[in-house]
Amino acid sequence: MKKISKLLLALSFLFSITTSAFAVTVASWGGAYTESQKLGYGDPTAKKLGIPINWVDYSGGLSEIKAQKEAGKITWDIMDVFAMDTINGCDEGLFVKFDFDKDFPAAPDGTPASKDFFTSMPSECAVGNILYSWNYAYNSDNVKGTPKTIKDFFNTKKFPGKRAIYKGALTNLEIALAADGIKPGKGGAKIYKALNTDKGVQRAMDKIKKLCTDPQGGCVFWSAGAQPPELLMSGEVVMATGWNGRFFNAAVGEGAPIVQVWDAQGLDYEYFVLVKGSPNEADAKKALAEMTSTEGLAGSAKYIAYAPWRKSSIAVMEKGEPWYKDGKTNMVPNMPTAPANTKNYFLVDPLYWADNGTELGEKWEAMKAGF
């Protein structure tokens, strides 16, 4: 039974391999994001190394690669994944473990790669790509006054109206505690300490519940990254949490009256992983090292407001300002890692979510059902 279904899976993948022969295939999220990767470091790397790079879209998660592996026909070489997936995929043996300083080039000034990246990797299989932020934004046409803090997001008396928040528990619990008076501490350590107790989780859920059941407030849950700016623009909500790159695009790219608030932002990471046993593993490894080099990572920030992982890349951007593709917008102040934006922040803890994600997800849904 199992063998035959494996055979079937293999058959279905046979159709998809024709395109990927000899080129390194990178699976990423598509849209403006993949565009920034392709223009920022994909094409330069392909040109420099003479290795064609083929970008394919996927919608996240590890189910596809697990299916490819079970079928014995892997077609992706590199994947762009969430932190939690690097941990789970590494545990499942889907990805190659790195010898970090050997596999990745040092910064131009000689700093080894492991020191040049902002923090250490959540798993041995991951190499950082961008940092993005879960912050919130408001439509300045619809809000009287200027929300400045995370408390304002939960303050329905001062700023009445609906809020849009992410459909799952991820980062919502963290900002709820930050708004409830817990100082994040270094990288959000205090928040996660509180969330490691049932009491802390309950406190966070109560805060969200209060906001969502408040007749002055109320919640709309978003699932796709394009939704928060959209909901703000249509006036459906007055404030929305979301990904900073999307807000930046709406505000700078399209000139929408959207203002971002960085207080208690959640810094989250995106990673590249190398698929174990992929068709062009050796070439893919070379391309990956080139793409995540100082110049490479800085390149993608030309096209999207996500911060490169390497400190040395930021230095490259500072020298090259205005760095944005329109030739007049300074990019460094728009980075989630800019000093003005990181006065109060937390680092989204992948291990906490890998540990507790399922259980918290169940509690979260049970809470939502009570609205």
Q: How many residues does the chain have?
A: 371
Question: Contact between 190 and another protein (CB under 8 A)?
Answer: no
Q: How far is the CB of 366 from another protein (least distance, A)?
A: 5
- What is the dihedral sign for C-alpha 298, 300, 304, 306? negative
Cα angle 240-244-245, degrees, rounded to a multiple of 5: 125
Name the minimum Å distance from CB 224 to another protein: 8
d(CA 160, CA 244): 23
The verdict on 87 binding another protein (CB under 8 A) reads: yes
What string of DSSP letters covers 20-49? GSSSEEEEE--HHHHHHHIIIIIHHHHHHH
C-beta closer to another protein: residue 137 or 301: 137
- Residue 358 sits in the site that holds another protein (CB under 8 A): yes
Cβ proximity to another protein: between 342 and 356 the closer is 356
214: contact with another protein by CB under 8 A:
no
Tell me which of 88, 139, 293, 300 binds another protein, using CB under 8 A.
88
Judged by CB under 8 A, which stretch of 21-29, 246-254, 309-317, 363-371 contacts another protein?
363-371
Select from 183-191, 301-309, 335-343, 360-368 the region that touches another protein (CB under 8 A): 360-368
Does 92 participate in binding another protein (rule CB under 8 A)?
A: yes
Q: Which of positions 332-351 make contact with another protein (CB under 8 A)?
A: 351
Judge if the upstream peptide bond of residue 184 is cis by omega within 30 degrees of 0: no
Which residue, among 177, 142, 181, has the nearest Cα to 163 in the 3D structure? 142
Residues 32, 220, 259, 338: which binds another protein (CB under 8 A)?
220
Q: Under a CB-based contact definition with an 8 Å cutoff, are residues 141 and 257 in contact?
A: yes
Answer for which of 35, 180, 214, 236 binds another protein (CB under 8 A) is 236
DSSP helix/strand/coil, 310: strand
Q: How far apart are CA 129 and CA 268, in angstroms?
A: 11
The count of other CB atoms within 10 Å of the CB of residue 198 is 9
Instruction: State the minimum distance, in angstroms, from the CB of residue 229 to another protein.
Output: 15
Site for another protein in 41-70 (CB under 8 A): 59-63, 66
Q: How far apart are CA 268 and CA 303, in angstroms?
A: 19
* Choice between 32 and 233, CB closer to another protein: 233
Does 91 engage in binding with another protein (CB under 8 A)? yes
Sign of CA pseudo-dihedral 278, 284, 288, 289: positive
Angle between helices 198-213 and 350-369 (to 10 degrees): 50
How many chain residues are in contact with another protein, going by CB under 8 A? 46
For residues 297 and 50, what is the distance between their CA atoms, to the nearest angstrom? 19
Task: Using CB under 8 A, list all residues that contact another protein.
Answer: 1-2, 4-5, 8, 59-63, 66, 84, 87-88, 90-93, 162, 167, 212, 219-221, 223, 234-236, 351-352, 354-363, 365-369, 371
